[in-house]
Structure 1
Amino acid sequence: MHLLQIVWDPSKGIDLGFFTLHFYSLMWIVAFILGFYIMKRIYKNEGQTEESLDSLFIYSVLGIMLGARLGHVIFYQPELISEDFFSIFLPFKFKGGFEFTGFQGLASHGAAIAMIISMYLYNKKILHKSVLWILDRVVIPVSLGAVFVRIGNFINSEIIGEYTNSDYGVVFKQLGESQPRHPAQLYEAFCYVFVFLALYYFYWKTKKGEQRGFLFGLFLLLLWTV
Structure 2
Amino acid sequence: MIHWNVSPEIFELGPLRVRWYGLMFLTGFSLGYQGMKKICQWEGLPVEKLDSLLVHLVLGTTIGARLGHCLFYDPVYYLSNPLEILKIWEGGLASHGGGVGVIIATWMFMRKNPEFHLWWLLDRLAIFTVMTGGFIRIGNLMNSEILGKPTDGTWGVIFERVNQVPRHPAQVYESLCYFVIFAISYWVYLKFKEKTPQGLIFGFVLAAIFTCRFFIEFVKEIQSPFEQDMIINMGQMLSIPFVAFGLFFMLRALRVIKQRA
> How far apart in 2 are the matches of 1:63 and 1:150?
18
Deviation at 1:219, TM superposition (A): 0.8
Note the alpha carbon deviations across 1:160-198, whole angstroms, 9 max, x for none: 22221245410122223x221110110111111111111
Deviation at 1:105, TM superposition (A): 2.5
1:51 matches 2:51: no
1:6 matches 2:7: no
Matched with 2:146 is 159
Deviation at 1:207, TM superposition (A): 5.3
**CA pair 90-161 structure 1, distance change in 2 beyond 3 A:** closer
Matched with 2:219 is none
> How far apart in 1 are the matches of 2:55 and 2:150?
41
- Preserved contact between residue 165 and residue 180 of structure 1 (Cα < 8 Å): yes
Matched with 2:221 is none
Aligned residues: 210
1:202 matches 2:188: yes
**CA pair 221-16 structure 1, distance change in 2 beyond 3 A:** same
Superposition RMSD in Å: 2.2
- Preserved contact between residue 52 and residue 127 of structure 1 (Cα < 8 Å): no
Note the alpha carbon deviations across 1:109-132, whole angstroms, 9 max, x for none: 111110011111111221355422
1:187 matches 2:173: yes
Note the alpha carbon deviations across 1:143-162, whole angstroms, 9 max, x for none: 11011111011111222222
Partner of 1:69: helix, strand, or coil? helix
Matched with 1:65 is 62
Partner of 2:181: helix, strand, or coil? helix
> How far apart in 2 are the matches of 1:74 and 1:174?
28
> How far apart in 2 are the matches of 1:202 and 1:208?
11
Residue of 106, 124, 149 corresponding to 1:137: 124
> How far apart in 1 are the matches of 2:72 and 2:172?
23
> How far apart in 1 are the matches of 2:14 and 2:74?
29
The letter for the 1-side match of 2:159 is: F
Deviates more, 1:198-207 or 1:166-175: 166-175
- Preserved contact between residue 35 and residue 141 of structure 1 (Cα < 8 Å): yes
Tell me the TM-score normalized by structure 2. 0.73
**CA pair 47-32 structure 1, distance change in 2 beyond 3 A:** same
Deviation at 1:77, TM superposition (A): 5.2
Residue of 71, 74, 77 corresponding to 1:74: 71
Residue of 20, 29, 32 corresponding to 1:32: 29
The letter for the 1-side match of 2:167 is: R
The letter for the 1-side match of 2:112 is: K
- Tell which has more relative contact order, 1 or 2 (C-alpha 8 A, sep 6+): 1
- Preserved contact between residue 136 and residue 209 of structure 1 (Cα < 8 Å): no
Deviation at 1:133, TM superposition (A): 1.5
- Give runs of aligned pairs for residues 52-131 of structure 1, distance below 5 A: 52-76=49-73, 78=75, 79=77, 83=81, 85=83, 88-89=85-86, 102=89, 104-131=91-118
> How far apart in 2 are the matches of 1:103 and 1:37?
30
> How far apart in 2 are the matches of 1:188 and 1:70?
22
Residue of 186, 194, 213 corresponding to 2:199: 213
- Preserved contact between residue 202 and residue 208 of structure 1 (Cα < 8 Å): no
> How far apart in 2 are the matches of 1:25 and 1:137?
24
**CA pair 174-84 structure 1, distance change in 2 beyond 3 A:** farther
> How far apart in 1 are the matches of 2:107 and 2:81?
33
Show structure 1 runs of 4+ deviating over 4 A.
80-84
> How far apart in 1 are the matches of 2:3 and 2:157?
6
Tell me the TM-score normalized by structure 1. 0.83
Decide which structure has greater helix share: 2
> How far apart in 2 are the matches of 1:194 and 1:42?
20
Matched with 1:174 is 161
